[in-house]
Amino acid sequence: MKNIIDNLPSKELLIELIENIRTRDIDQDDEYIDITIASNGKDPNDWGFQTGDNSYSGACYSYHHWAIGSIDFQTDPKELATDLLDQLEELLAYESLEC
């Protein structure tokens, strides 16, 4: 049996994504942007992300599990990536208990 985390995007990939968003989209200390990472937890290459509004459309809508965070000028990409993966792992672990 695989670990749940093995079916999620890699931490390194999320760190790179967060770093890119932080350097590209955040201009000032008081600005931030929300990020959502989504997965069904079945394939580490099958996931989506979106920034800004977490509406019912966008790259995350087709996935069952969503992790939400915020990126600002001082965000530590490693910490946020860990938090997002922890959120997804918790949701997937809970789902596995429902069966």
pLDDT by residue for the chain (99 residues), tens only, comes to: 456 678 999 999 999 999 999 988 787 777 899 999 999 999 999 999 999 876 677 889 899 999 999 999 889 999 999 999 999 999 998 776 655
Q: Cβ neighbours of residue 83 under 8 Å, at least 6 residues apart?
A: 67, 69
- Spatial distance between the Cα atoms of 53 and 29, rounded to a whole number of angstroms: 20
For residue 94 the two structure tokens come to 């809970």
Cβ-based neighbour number of residue 37 at 10 Å:
27
What DSSP state is assigned to residue 18? H
